Structure 1
Amino acid sequence: MNKTIQTKRDTIIPATIFLILYAAWAILVASENQFIHEFDRTVINIICNNNPILIKFATVFTNLGNTNVIMVETILLVIVLALFKKFAYAFFTAGTMIAANGYNWIIKHAIARHRPFTHHLVAAHGYSFPSGHSVGSATLFGILIVLTILLVKNKAAKTVLCIVWACFPILIGYTRIFSHVHYPSDVVGGFLEGIAFLLIGYSFLYHYYLEIRAQENSLV
């Protein structure tokens, strides 16, 4: 098989799969499917409780996924990449974040799902699906995983960093459910959307930069 065809499949197929999964999940939520209701009820019963330590953790840690915080972190990351003249990675970071969060705003208003009708432990505004905290954190920390894999040479450091980055969106998603401001299906939808846009962004980075650079290096 042609190597170019193989590499395109390696990047485009995962992006397509997650995009389809996200679309299917969004349709289930929008149609108020019974499976979604049962899923939300089951997960909420497992996660939510009145433990004061967990309440404190959830109400504090959830702030790491706030739109303003994610925006500042993204801007700082883009600036750092630009300072080190990693312009392709800076464009990848900015473009992926803008696309993911812009689309999230559109789909939120298209589906217009109300937040859980219960006492919220933290302030929350706007519609519920998908979770903006989950979309933003999954996309940003997913980008950090990609950058770590591409730029960090030490294998041990690379492994540790990737595990740390992966923990952040999972914990942020957990806090959104625990704080009663999102249904579990909102968080899952946010993760699927964030990963889909991350993979789409990586496909562009690969085919318009990494692959070209690899071909140039092979000719030297």
Structure 2
Amino acid sequence: MKILFTRMAAAFLLCLVFGGIFAFIARGISKATIFQFDDTIISIVQGWENSWLTPIMKAFTWIGSTTVVLLLIAAGFILLFYIMKERMQAYLYLTVMLGTGVLNQVLKMIFKRERPEIHRLIEIGGYSFPSGHTMMSFSLYAIIAYIVWRHTKSAFSRIASILFAIIMALSIAISRIYLGVHYPSDVAGGMAASAFWLIVSISVYGYYQDRTAKSSKPSTA
């Protein structure tokens, strides 16, 4: 019980942190006080532009596209549900990803922020805040790292999965700024929103797992 309470308290505090970050960014957008931050980061990232880096950034954006992410969601669900027989983790995986997509669309419709017009290297429609590519990629690679962590005791495998998740999520997020289709605040807000949803989902999953484990124990009475 003490361990469960500690986990739930930590999850609650993390939700407050990421929810606060998202609220801070959203307020900065609505009050037009975050543009200096956006302009500074855009200037730095787009200052990296050159002929060899642009195709790499386009590749990362493609990896974070709806088509690729949907294929990865389907592949991950099939692997967990049908091959590994980890049905609860398969449901967690699907819930995290579908929930992230719904949350992103709801937030976009609430804020209706137009995309930046500064030096676009690709064209894309839709609203800007929060970044859909960032949210989906953050959730995808974070939940993969979480599931790998649950399935291995190897420190190397655990660290490698976390580093892979960080590299992929950051690379896709940076590619959106580099290509001129998102403000940095879109990306930061997307990460905060995804982190919030991930923590809620994993916390509910962990609580359910604990309750199931306790109920399956034979009675000592």
Judge same fold: TM > 0.5, yes or no: yes
CA contact (8 A) 1:130 1:189 kept: yes
Q: Which residue does 1:200 correspond to in 2?
A: 200
Determine the C-alpha separation between the residues in 2 that align with 1:109 and 1:59: 26
Determine the C-alpha separation between the residues in 2 that align with 1:120 and 1:166: 25
1:59-98 counterparts in 2 under 5 A? 59-83=58-82, 84-98=84-98
* Equivalent position amino acid for 1:56 in 2: P
* Equivalent position amino acid for 2:40 in 1: T
2:168 pairs with 1:168 = yes
Q: Which residue does 1:40 correspond to in 2?
A: 38
Runs of 5+ unmatched residues, structure 1? none
Q: Which residue does 1:56 correspond to in 2?
A: 55
Deviation at 1:75, TM superposition (A): 1.4
CA contact (8 A) 1:176 1:182 kept: yes
CA contact (8 A) 1:61 1:172 kept: yes
Determine the C-alpha separation between the residues in 2 that align with 1:103 and 1:134: 13
Q: Which residue does 1:103 correspond to in 2?
A: 103
Q: How many residues align?
A: 217
CA 1:219–1:3: 2 relative to 1, 3 Å:
farther
1:144-159 counterparts in 2 under 5 A? 144-159=144-159
Of 70-79 and 8-17, more deviation after overlay is shown by 8-17
CA offsets 1:39-64 (integer angstroms, 9 cap, x no match): 10111111113311111211222111
Determine the C-alpha separation between the residues in 2 that align with 1:215 and 1:17: 31
Of 171-180 and 106-115, more deviation after overlay is shown by 106-115
Q: CA-atom RMSD, angstroms?
A: 1.9
Deviation at 1:4, TM superposition (A): 3.3
CA 1:154–1:214: 2 relative to 1, 3 Å:
farther
Q: Which residue does 1:116 correspond to in 2?
A: 116
CA 1:161–1:2: 2 relative to 1, 3 Å:
closer
CA offsets 1:164-219 (integer angstroms, 9 cap, x no match): 1211010001100000000111010111111111111101111011x235546876
| SS of equivalent to 2:76 | helix
CA contact (8 A) 2:11 2:199 kept: yes
CA 1:214–1:57: 2 relative to 1, 3 Å:
same
CA contact (8 A) 2:21 2:189 kept: no
Q: Which residue does 1:134 correspond to in 2?
A: 134
Please report the TM-score for the alignment, with normalisation by the length of structure 2: 0.91
Determine the C-alpha separation between the residues in 1 that align with 2:154 and 2:177: 36
Please report the TM-score for the alignment, with normalisation by the length of structure 1: 0.91
Runs of 5+ unmatched residues, structure 2? none
Determine the C-alpha separation between the residues in 1 that align with 2:61 and 2:207: 35
CA contact (8 A) 1:59 1:121 kept: no
CA contact (8 A) 2:4 2:207 kept: no
CA 1:122–1:72: 2 relative to 1, 3 Å:
same
Of 4-13 and 128-137, more deviation after overlay is shown by 4-13
CA contact (8 A) 1:93 1:143 kept: yes
CA offsets 1:92-143 (integer angstroms, 9 cap, x no match): 1111111111011011111111111134212311011001000000111110
CA 1:150–1:142: 2 relative to 1, 3 Å:
same
Determine the C-alpha separation between the residues in 1 that align with 2:155 and 2:189: 32
CA contact (8 A) 1:12 1:203 kept: no
